[in-house]
A and B are shown apart, each in its own frame.
Chain A
Amino acid sequence: MSRSSAETGLSLEALADAADRANRLQRVTDRLAEALTPQQVLDAILTEGLRAAEARAGAIGIVSEDGEWIELLAQRGYKRPILTEWGRFPVSAELPMSHVVRNGEPLFLESLKARNELFPNLEGRGRDGHALAVLPLALEGRILGVIGLSFGDDMVFSEERRKMKITLARQAALALERARLFEAEQAARQRLAFLAEASELLGSSLDYEQTLSRLAHLSVRRLADWCSIDMVAADGSIDRLAVAHEDPDKVKWALELQERYPPDPDAPHGVSLVIRTGKPEFLPELPEEMLEEAIGDDDVLREIVEQLGVRSSICVPLNARGRTLGALTLIAAESHPPYTSADLELAIELARRAGTAVDNSRLFQEAEKGANAARALAYVADGVVLIDGSGVVRHWNPAAATITGVPEEEALGRRVHSVLPAWESLVSHVPLVGPDEALARPVTVPIVLQGRELWVSASGVDFGEGTVYALRDVTDEHALEKTRSDFVATASHELRTPLAAVYGAVRTLRREDIELREEDRLAFLEIIEDESVRLTQLVDQILLAGQLDANAVQIDLEPCDPVQIASGVLESASLHLPDGISLRVESNGVGAILCDANKLRQVLVNLVDNAVKYSPKGGEVEIRVDSEDGECQIEVADQGLGIPSSERERIFDKFYRLDPQQSGGVGGSGLGLYICRELVERMNGHLDVDSEPGKGSRFTVALPASG
């Protein structure tokens, strides 16, 4: 390094010197142009700049964002570790660098004495120092930093030298600003990339708890040492959704901490404050003194603060549609630099997107819940109809459409009275209950819908904003119930007649005031006997018919010989045969059939009985057993009164009886043929009749052959 102790006049030597300085300055400019990052710029300024300025050592301090501090970031040539010794110091301090930053003017101190005159407080410090040049790194009036140059000797700073150093400082400021802009642009780019990545993550799933938890982990790598996300629960309490740190042990510790110290929703700072106010809380730097003051004597808190290592923190609300759903906290601790306002902006933007994602996810879940309910209602057999407060149909499930015959698309959004004019008459009978009351018994109401008479069972719940009705088409059940009650009524009527005969006969026989003729007395006794038998049969048949209706008759199918059964029936019938009737069995060698022998016997007894009863003028009753196509046919034929064709199906109805004009006054329970047909059908067969009035009837029992 060359030194010059005299700068006088425009001597050749001086011109050569000037050329040399210009060359050095050019080298500095070249190096600065190559430097990209602020640190590279600082390094370039010091390596080349010291040489150009003929300085022994130099240091650069950068003014903090808030303009309050100067931080020494680079040095070269000092024997002492001045970066750690000085670190940072206030702009307000009585120091050469602070002085220059405050005034914005260069300071040239030609000797230690000159320095101590200006800064008496430095008397005794930097004893080995000599001349000192301190120059602002200024750009358009802004002071970015300050460069201090120390020289090996006392020195006279000529105008030339001063200019050269001012030029150097200006070059350095320009390069520093350029590097800073570059760095800021890089950072902005990274922020945008991070936001893009975070947005993609938030949009990747509707499970917001999972995406927020992943977002916390993503943030830990890029934005923070610690990241936590807290959500407001339905009851207003604060739930920690996620805590992320690169060290799983630390996460575990933080979660335990949360257990031990659950957040106080009324706390005057942190997550609680942010959630309450919906406004960010930004602590760019936590000065040691402030922490110490906050900790006080609380050892537990001290441990927590030490473990966390908090340097700086940002807590931003997750807002959506005017509500605060939670908060995102970023903490810069051991590795992340303290936060700047750019970080705060990024955090706000990130939280805004996360809030929207949570809101969307919740809206979707609500909609999904509604859709699920609708899906469930689509499969419910009961009609479900929701009418809002103004009488408009809001829900009309497929069962409601089936019952009413009005499709969902015609009902939705329309007034129920125009959808279904019969609605009023239907629901006017339905007692409404509140949502928390026990459901009233459904009311069964007849309504006429599109020409059909329906019986509808309906119940309703009034939930304030509307009414929901459950409807069930009970037309079939109602018809069945009517059949059942008709049966009971008819059965009781049927029992009254023989009872009247028995009771009346007994009452008459016991009369002492009159003398009964012998033939009348015998006739009454016969009535008592006959009607008692009839009553017994009637009761048996009513019981059997009831069991058939209730499907409670057990049928035991097994291979049987139909000819043997038919012969047995004829044999017992022949024991009390009226005059003029003859019986016979015909068969062409039929194999076994699958049936319940007792039930078949019962059927044949009934058919033969009828055949005899309806042959008042005598004749032949024949049972013919044939087989054809795997089916066995047992015919019971008579030569009696026959049945008009109009009556042929009705004779199988319960309690149906032929007109005595047509039946020759033959009575019966009206259940016999009904029971016969039911029994045969339960044995997988069928019973039919063919007849010619006046010539006789032919009942055919067809049953499947065995095997």
Chain B
Amino acid sequence: MLVVDDESPIRMLCRVNLTAAGIEVLEADNGRDALELIRRELPDLVLLDVMMPDLDGWEVARRLAADPKTREIPIVFLTARAGEADRRLGEQLGGVGYVVKPFDPVRIGDLVEEVLTRIEQGEREALRRGILDDMLGSP
């Protein structure tokens, strides 16, 4: 899977904890690199930061949805934007999860596993409508 965040500490947290869960992790520190990587590697899931300079997370999600090759790739937003409007936007853009920073990285592996399992079980729409969040509860 791919972790996209312009903050290297956040990427590192995700990488270490996801790797510990046996998940192979790719990283991108900006939107353009992320798009390129996704199109090339077609990861199983993208953990996507929203606020990034130039190409932000929303735009990345839009472009992924517009491309038939990438539109099926599940997106979990990982963001500091905690507002209700942002959450709804994430849902509209096809996100299946919405994680608000700060989050507990220890459980991020479980989250990814759960999302992937449920999608496999055909619950993608249910996930999207009830956009998965708060399972990584803030401190």
A-side residues, CB < 8 A to B, are 489, 492-494, 496-497, 499-505, 507-508, 511, 513-514, 516, 520, 523-524, 527, 530-531, 657-661, 665, 667
Of residues 26 through 55 on chain B, the ones whose CB sits less than 8 Å from some CB of chain A are 29-30, 32, 51-54
Least CB distance from B33 to A in Å reads: 9
With A504-B10, A514-B20, A658-B53 as contacts: A497 and B101 at CB distance below 8 Å: yes
Question: Can you offer 19 A-B residue contacts whose CB atoms are under 8 A?
Answer: A493-B80, A500-B10, A500-B13, A500-B80, A500-B101, A500-B102, A503-B102, A503-B104, A503-B139, A504-B102, A505-B9, A507-B106, A508-B13, A523-B12, A527-B9, A531-B9, A658-B53, A660-B29, A661-B32
With a CB–CB cut-off of 8 A, which chain A residues contact B53? 657-661
Main secondary structure of the interface of A (DSSP, over half): helix
A489, A500, A514 — most chain B CB neighbours (10 Å)? A500
With a CB–CB cut-off of 8 A, which chain A residues contact B9? 501, 504-505, 527, 530-531
With A501-B10, A523-B12 as contacts: A496 and B54 at CB distance below 8 Å: no
User: 1/0 contact trace for B76-98 toward A, CB 8 Å?
Assistant: 00001111000000000000000
The answer to whether B13 and A667 touch across the interface, beta carbons within 8 angstroms, is: no
The complex places the Cα of A524 from the Cα of B83 at a distance, in Å, of 29
The answer to whether B16 and A507 touch across the interface, beta carbons within 8 angstroms, is: no
The complex places the Cα of A127 from the Cα of B11 at a distance, in Å, of 153
Question: Which of A501, A520, A530 is within 8 Å of B16, CB to CB?
Answer: A520
With a CB–CB cut-off of 8 A, which chain B residues contact A660? 6, 29-30, 52-53
The complex places the Cα of A657 from the Cα of B30 at a distance, in Å, of 14
Question: Which of A496, A527, A659 is within 8 Å of B82, CB to CB?
Answer: A496
Q: Which 3 residue pairs are nearest across A and B when measured between Cβ atoms?
A: A500-B101, A496-B80, A500-B102
With a CB–CB cut-off of 8 A, which chain B residues contact A657? 53
Number of interface residues of B (CB under 8 A): 29
Least CB distance from B60 to A in Å reads: 15
The complex places the Cα of A379 from the Cα of B117 at a distance, in Å, of 71
The answer to whether B30 and A504 touch across the interface, beta carbons within 8 angstroms, is: no
The complex places the Cα of A500 from the Cα of B100 at a distance, in Å, of 9
Task: Decide yes or no whether B70 CB sits under 8 A from chain A.
Answer: no
With a CB–CB cut-off of 8 A, which chain B residues contact A504? 9-10, 13, 102-105
Of residues 112 through 139 on chain B, the ones whose CB sits less than 8 Å from some CB of chain A are 139
The complex places the Cα of A380 from the Cα of B131 at a distance, in Å, of 53
With a CB–CB cut-off of 8 A, which chain A residues contact B16? 508, 516, 520
Task: Decide yes or no whether B72 CB sits under 8 A from chain A.
Answer: no
The answer to whether B7 and A667 touch across the interface, beta carbons within 8 angstroms, is: yes
The complex places the Cα of A492 from the Cα of B16 at a distance, in Å, of 26
Of residues 2 through 18 on chain B, the ones whose CB sits less than 8 Å from some CB of chain A are 6-10, 12-13, 16-17
Least CB distance from B123 to A in Å reads: 28
The complex places the Cα of A635 from the Cα of B94 at a distance, in Å, of 50
The answer to whether A661 and B30 touch across the interface, beta carbons within 8 angstroms, is: yes
With a CB–CB cut-off of 8 A, which chain A residues contact B80? 492-494, 496-497, 500
The complex places the Cα of A523 from the Cα of B54 at a distance, in Å, of 28
The complex places the Cα of A677 from the Cα of B9 at a distance, in Å, of 30
Least CB distance from A522 to B in Å reads: 12
The complex places the Cα of A333 from the Cα of B123 at a distance, in Å, of 114
With a CB–CB cut-off of 8 A, which chain B residues contact A514? 20
The complex places the Cα of A498 from the Cα of B102 at a distance, in Å, of 8
The complex places the Cα of A473 from the Cα of B81 at a distance, in Å, of 32
With CB as the reference atom, state the residue of chain A lying closest to B101: A500
The complex places the Cα of A489 from the Cα of B10 at a distance, in Å, of 21
Least CB distance from A495 to B in Å reads: 8
With CB as the reference atom, state the residue of chain A lying closest to B100: A496
The answer to whether A508 and B106 touch across the interface, beta carbons within 8 angstroms, is: yes
With a CB–CB cut-off of 8 A, which chain B residues contact A502? 102
Question: Which of B6, B7, B20, B29 is within 8 Å of A501, CB to CB?
Answer: B7
Least CB distance from A538 to B in Å reads: 12
With A492-B82, A527-B12 as contacts: A499 and B102 at CB distance below 8 Å: yes
The complex places the Cα of A513 from the Cα of B20 at a distance, in Å, of 9
User: 1/0 contact trace for B55-84 toward A, CB 8 Å?
Assistant: 000000000000000000000000011110
With a CB–CB cut-off of 8 A, which chain A residues contact B51? 493
With CB as the reference atom, state the residue of chain A lying closest to B53: A659
With a CB–CB cut-off of 8 A, which chain B residues contact A489? 83
The answer to whether B54 and A661 touch across the interface, beta carbons within 8 angstroms, is: yes
The complex places the Cα of A505 from the Cα of B11 at a distance, in Å, of 11
Question: Which of A492, A497, A661 is within 8 Å of B7, CB to CB?
Answer: A497
The complex places the Cα of A502 from the Cα of B51 at a distance, in Å, of 19
With a CB–CB cut-off of 8 A, which chain A residues contact B81? 493
With a CB–CB cut-off of 8 A, which chain A residues contact B102? 496, 499-500, 502-504
The answer to whether A511 and B13 touch across the interface, beta carbons within 8 angstroms, is: no
With a CB–CB cut-off of 8 A, which chain B residues contact A531? 9
The complex places the Cα of A494 from the Cα of B82 at a distance, in Å, of 12
Question: Which of A499, A530, A658, A665 is within 8 Å of B29, CB to CB?
Answer: A665
The complex places the Cα of A503 from the Cα of B29 at a distance, in Å, of 20
The complex places the Cα of A83 from the Cα of B6 at a distance, in Å, of 131
The complex places the Cα of A248 from the Cα of B94 at a distance, in Å, of 100
Apart from A507-B104, A508-B106, 6 more pairs, CB < 8 Å:
A501-B9, A504-B103, A508-B13, A511-B106, A516-B16, A520-B12
The complex places the Cα of A525 from the Cα of B110 at a distance, in Å, of 24
With CB as the reference atom, state the residue of chain B lying closest to A506: B139
The answer to whether A505 and B13 touch across the interface, beta carbons within 8 angstroms, is: yes
Least CB distance from A91 to B in Å reads: 110
Least CB distance from A490 to B in Å reads: 9
With CB as the reference atom, state the residue of chain B lying closest to A657: B53
With CB as the reference atom, state the residue of chain B lying closest to A530: B9
The answer to whether B101 and A508 touch across the interface, beta carbons within 8 angstroms, is: no
Least CB distance from A505 to B in Å reads: 7
The complex places the Cα of A505 from the Cα of B106 at a distance, in Å, of 10
Least CB distance from B114 to A in Å reads: 18
With a CB–CB cut-off of 8 A, which chain A residues contact B105? 504, 507-508
With a CB–CB cut-off of 8 A, which chain B residues contact A524? 12
The complex places the Cα of A167 from the Cα of B21 at a distance, in Å, of 155
The complex places the Cα of A489 from the Cα of B8 at a distance, in Å, of 23
The complex places the Cα of A496 from the Cα of B80 at a distance, in Å, of 6
B9, B29, B53, B81 — most chain A CB neighbours (10 Å)? B9
Least CB distance from B77 to A in Å reads: 13
A489, A493, A502, A523 — most chain B CB neighbours (10 Å)? A493
The complex places the Cα of A577 from the Cα of B104 at a distance, in Å, of 35
With a CB–CB cut-off of 8 A, which chain A residues contact B10? 497, 500-501, 504
The answer to whether A500 and B30 touch across the interface, beta carbons within 8 angstroms, is: no
With a CB–CB cut-off of 8 A, which chain A residues contact B13? 500-501, 504-505, 508
With A493-B80, A500-B103 as contacts: A508 and B17 at CB distance below 8 Å: yes
The complex places the Cα of A514 from the Cα of B102 at a distance, in Å, of 22
With a CB–CB cut-off of 8 A, which chain B residues contact A665? 6, 8, 29
With a CB–CB cut-off of 8 A, which chain A residues contact B54? 659, 661
Least CB distance from A539 to B in Å reads: 15
With CB as the reference atom, state the residue of chain A lying closest to B9: A501
